[in-house]
Structure 1
Amino acid sequence: MLETGRFGCSSGPNALLVFREMIDSIDTIRKKLNKKEPMFQIFQNDLFSNDFNTLIRSIPSFYEELRRDKGGDFGPCFIAVMPGSYYGRLFPAHYLHFIHSSYSVHWRSQAPANLVSEFGSPLNKGHIYLARTTPKSVHEAYLDLFKRDMTLFLKSRSEELILGGRMLFTMIGRDASVNLSEDQVSNIYELLGMTISDMVQECGPNDSLLQIIAGKKKRATPHEGLIEEEKLDDWNMPIYLPTPEEVRHVIQKEGSFHITRFETFKVTWDAEMGDDDLQMRGKYAAATIRAVFESILTTHFGEEIMDGLFEKFASKVSQYMKLHEGEYFNILVSVKNG
């Protein structure tokens, strides 16, 4: 039996895609070698809050497609879910043969704690993630959290993999060698933070909601909602986009894995649409961010502002892409256990 797990599977239509590709590859090889198809045990992992019901409902059609395409000589395939944080153990020791994670391990276990000065003021004021004007101490806090999280992730996976087992993961990182011009941003999340900052109430930080209700200040329209400055300053995104050097350093220092492949590649924010319609490209880029981040943004800022926020964000992305090539910098790593 081939035991494999995917960490950070979410619940969308791509949750099972990687396993179909893996099964197809193994099927091609075993036919050339005239071998019997192995039995597959596939585990899907994400946080307890993930919508596993949606994922489970897609399994019957996955099975049906396999039976239709592979025929009677195809070995059994069993799929199960394993909820929980991958920053810790999830499986028995020496249990899995292969682990895959796609665009998940740049998520942190939490946002860095205590991002305030000795006087209690926010250190990353006006931003939701690392920006060009973010203080060095905030960068260091994010980097320290990344090192601790990633070390725990590697240690946990090395204990769950068999000796010689493989792991492949892709994450969004950053290219530290790029020199940005003054009108460029470090990442798309900086643009999102700028959009939220634009939506902070126009009356200013010292004016309260009571003043707005009393008619002394103009409130934002219901479509735009109202974001208080304190809400923006109190929230930081629980992600970190590392450099390739930072990723390589953590893997080598933790010591459980040998790197067998290490690559970087870029994908534009609009997934290479090749469309001259900047408005459409901006909407697409904003929709991909909304699909991932809306739930946590809603928890902090409220659901009522989401439509207005992402309309403004789409416009801001369009304006930016008129002048610059917005790109995700991706890091792909393949490692072998032991």
Structure 2
Amino acid sequence: MEVSQVFHMNGGNGDNSYATNSVYQKLGITKAKPVIIGSISDLYTTNPPRCLRVADLGCSSGPNTLLVITEIIEAIDKICRHLNHNTPEFQVFLNDLPSNDFNTIFKNLPAFHEQLRKEKGEKFGPCSIVGIPGSFYERLFPSTSIDFFHSSFGLHWLSQVPPMDEINKCNIYLSRTSPLSVVQAYMEQFQKDFSLFLSLRSKEITPKGRMVLTILGRRSENPYKECQYWELLSKSLNDLVSEGLIEETKVDSFNLPFYAPSYKEVEATICGEGSFYLDQLEIFDINWDESDDDDNREFTFDKFISGQKMAKAIRAVVEPLIACHFGDAVIDVLFNRYIEYVGNHLSMEEGKFVSFVISLRGK
């Protein structure tokens, strides 16, 4: 499976689309907002550029795509009003793999620009937004051309499924039954990919430029911990094997191009690669049932509803990978089974996505 050719979030605006089922990612952006705003504000006040060039890597499609850009524009506009400065021009690059639903993004841009003019006035900007299809594990921009890089929930996805000497039997990710060689292969692939990503961006970022990354991870040093959402999906697939809907060898030959690193692994890779100063590395959690993250309303648990929300969110992200390997016919059955497993899990214990927000400064 060539990840860069197959992998993308579900496009469009339908019931199973990423646009409709990306509330977790929105919560992550909200929790990371103070770090994003602090980093872009420090960049601008230290050395104000006439044209601020921002790249969002792994932008996907849907309501979150322009959310960070809007927050950056608001922060810079506030600073300029306080200092009685004219706002800079903005040049925004939205990057994702070529199979991403860029068409939906482009259709939303006229309304975005109209809202900017309405709120900021005709003299604001201008703000130019373009799409940059390609893998962020390759060079994307000319040397020293980007002032601020942002990536949200992209870098836990690897450039490829790690090469493995042993079969990760009955698993699609790391579990207690995974061979140690499989665990080691995943760890090495993440270190290789993350180091490459940092090295590439160090060539593209302007002197003293900034970068903020949000990535799924784990608090524990145990690689089997805190990723039960993939174990439950493995169980769902194995149920389909037992029912004769898919072949066991199909499950044994499918592994996710994903790795949730620990705090120490992230820190060690950044320091070992050496291209950036590490300004901040913070941890936050997002509940599997995103309704429980809303402090402004009373939360009432419903096993089916909670399981369904989680299943739709996971489906919106991995359906293209699963359908490519197992076929479209099993998708509905698989995720109906996944709803049951997630609901049962949440009725017994909490489920949380562990995330890191990382603020980096170019050397």
Give the TM-score taking structure 2 as reference length.
Answer: 0.82
Structure 1 residue 69: Cα displacement: 1.1
Output one character per residue of 1:225-276: Cα deviation in whole Å (capped at 9) or x when no partner.
x111000000100000000100000000010100111100111111143332
Name the CA distance, whole Å, in 2 between partners of 1:101 and 1:280. 30
Letter in 2 for 1:190: E
User: How far off its partner does 1:299 sit?
Assistant: 0.3
Segments of 5+ residues of structure 1 without an aligned counterpart are 117-121, 203-219, 221-225
Residue 200 in 1 paired to residue 241 in 2? yes
Partner of 2:21: none
Name the residue aligned to 2:196. Answer: 152
* SS state at 1:172 partner: strand
Q: Is the 1:275–1:281 contact (alpha carbons within 8 Å) kept by the matching residues of 2?
A: no
1:295 corresponds in structure 2 to: 320
Note if 1:31 corresponds to 2:81: yes
* 1:210 aligned residue: none
- Aligned partners of 1:227 and 1:320: how far apart in 2? 24
1:127 pairs with 2:171:
yes
Residues 204-232 of structure 1 deviation map (CA, whole Å, 9 limit, x = unaligned): xxxxxxxxxxxxxxxx5xxxxx1110000
Deviation at 1:138, TM superposition (A): 0.7
The structure richer in helix per residue is 2
Residue 50 of structure 1 corresponds to 100
Gaps of 5+ in 2: 1-50, 293-298
Q: Distance in 1 between matches of 2:223 and 2:249?
A: 32
The 2-side partners of 1:195 and 1:94 are apart by: 47
Distance, in Å, in 2 between the alignment partners of 1:186 and 1:84 is: 28
2:62 alignment partner in structure 1? 12
Identity, % of aligned positions = 43
Are the counterparts in 2 of residues 128 and 232 from structure 1 also a CA contact under 8 Å? yes
Say whether residues 1:110 and 2:160 are aligned partners: yes
Match for residue 3 of structure 1? Answer: 53
Tell me whether 71-80 or 248-257 shows the greater mean CA deviation.
71-80
Instruction: Normalising by structure 1, report the TM-score.
Output: 0.88
Can you list the C-alpha shifts for 1:165-184, whole angstroms capped at 9, x where unaligned? 0000000001216899xxx9
- Structure possessing the higher radius of gyration over alpha carbons: 1
CA 1:249/1:266 → structure 2, altered by over 3 Å: closer, same or farther? same
Give the direction of change, closer, same or farther, for the CA distance of 1:185–1:34 in structure 2 (3 Å limit): closer
The partner residue of 2:228 within 170, 187, 203 is: 187
**Would the aligned equivalents of 1:132 and 1:186 in 2 still touch at CA under 8 Å?**
no
Task: Note if contact 1:131-1:185 (Cα within 8 Å) is conserved in structure 2.
Answer: no
C-alpha RMSD of the superposition: 1.5
* Residue from 335, 338, 351 that aligns with 1:310: 335
CA contact (8 A) 2:56 2:150 kept: yes
Match in the other structure for 1:240: 259
Q: Which runs of 4+ in 1 moved over 2 A?
A: 177-180, 184-187, 272-275
Q: SS of the residue aligned with 2:250?
A: helix
- In the aligned structure 2, how far is the partner of 1:66 from the partner of 1:104? 27
- 1:132-151 per-residue CA deviation (whole Å, 9 max, x = no partner) reads 22121111000000011001
Classify the secondary structure of the residue corresponding to 1:199: helix
How many Å separate the matches in 1 of 2:312 and 2:55? 28
Contact 1:227 1:301 (8 Å CA) reproduced: yes
Tell me the amino acid that sits aligned with residue 206 of structure 2.
Answer: I
Shift, 1:201, TM fit: 3.7
Counterpart-to-counterpart distance in 2, 1:41 and 1:185: 38
Give, as a single letter, the amino acid of the residue that structure 1 aligns with 2:266.
V
